[in-house]
Amino acid sequence: MNREQRYADLTVQGPERDLPTSPEMIQQLGDSYWPLQAYRELDDALLHLRVNEPEIGLVCVRTKGNIDDVLALDQTLAANQDHWLVHEILLYMARVLRRLDLTAKSFFAIVEPGSCFAGNLLELLLASDRSYMLNDAEAEPTAVSLSTLNASAFPMSNGLTRLESRFLADPEKLAEVLAQTAPLDAEQADEAGLITFVPDEPRLGRRDSRRHRRAYFVVAGCADGYGSVLAFRRSGTMEHKNLRTIDRLAKLDFPATKRSRPGRRVDQLRQANASQVRLSSNLVLSFQFSVFSSE
């Protein structure tokens, strides 16, 4: 918990190797079987954030582990999904993921070296508001991967899977993504539409060698207590529009030509004393006060 900056780090440790593959052995492990244990702990963490941490507005989601181990686990779950215990485990995993969908906080998924966003853990990335995947040739490679469970095992509250919602207007693209059997690197995941941003190093302001243009990753340093995040820009030129306006932005903050109503005398009234503006210690904004004429 980083309560002063009002964000939290949530890291999910991936499964170990050589997990049981038969329903009988899975039943012997009981609640210590990784999918059940991990998603129970994730459920508890989400409930804690909801109830006990109202000031936390941003949650950074990370995973640690081996992608092949996650895919092997998904293969076991898919092969034994008719068994009553495995079936209940899959239903429980889907319910926890829906709880993440409906949690009123901003979630950012961070794909870095050592991450294992694959199969069921890829759903954490798909459920997040934004995803960042490092694409640095000097660092260890990063990858994401899909499994058969991503096709239908974890529906959202609307009955659609997260991939179906993402590619709702492009069913052919959905089929193309689901057909991917090999892990996807940063550029492939970006082209597939699975990743929001692909920075080429973990700092701001470096030129993206693939796109040959300046990449602006302006991410708010904090979020409010209700999960809202300040304005940000997509990677690209400065001509890109803000995807989300700053919270509580008044109409008078726009020029008269951009307001939704005709200019009036009250438009000339502006706040003149900037020293009366009191901000939280973790919030830094730049104010410029001016007088707009209605003429």
Q: pLDDT tens digit string along 92-117? A: 999 999 999 999 999 999 999 999 99
Would residue 217 count as lying in a domain? no
CATH of the domain at 188: 3.90.226.10
154-174: pLDDT as tens digits:
999 999 999 999 999 888 999
Name residue 183's amino acid.
P
The predicted-structure confidence for 7-28, as pLDDT tens digits, reads as follows 999 999 999 888 999 999 999 9
pLDDT at 202: 56
The answer on 152 and 269 residing in a single domain is no
Predicted pLDDT at 117: 96
* Calpha distance 23→206 (Å, rounded): 50
Among 212, 238, 271, the domain boundary falls at 212
Q: Is the pLDDT of residue 204 over 80?
A: no
Based on the domain organization, do 49 and 113 belong to the same domain? Answer: yes
Expressed as residue numbers, the domain containing 278 is 250-295
- Please report the sign of the dihedral spanned by the C-alpha atoms of residue 17, residue 21, residue 24, residue 30: positive
Q: Which of 40-49, 59-68, 257-266, 284-293 has the least mean pLDDT?
A: 284-293
Within this chain, do residues 259 and 120 fall inside the same structural domain, yes or no?
no
Please give the tally of structural domains in the chain: 2
The predicted-structure confidence for 172-191, as pLDDT tens digits, reads as follows 999 999 998 899 999 999 99
Mean per-residue pLDDT, 193-202: 83
- Rounded to the nearest 5 percent, the helix, strand and coil shares of the chain are 35, 10, 50
The residue from 212, 238, 267 where one domain ends is: 212
Boundary (domain end) residue, out of 186, 212, 238: 212
Exposed / middle / buried, residue 17 (Cβ in 10 Å: 0-12, 13-18, 19+):
exposed
- In this structure, are 50 and 184 located in the same domain? yes
Mean pLDDT calculated for residue range 198-204: 65
Q: Look at residue 234 and tell me whether its pLDDT is greater than 50.
A: no
For 134-236, where are the alpha helices, taking DSSP H only?
Answer: 149-152, 162-166, 171-178, 186-192
Residue 1 lies in a domain: no
Closest-CA residue to 192 (of 126, 124, 148, 107): 126
Question: Same structural domain for residues 35 and 89?
Answer: yes
| The overall pTM is greater than 0.75 | no
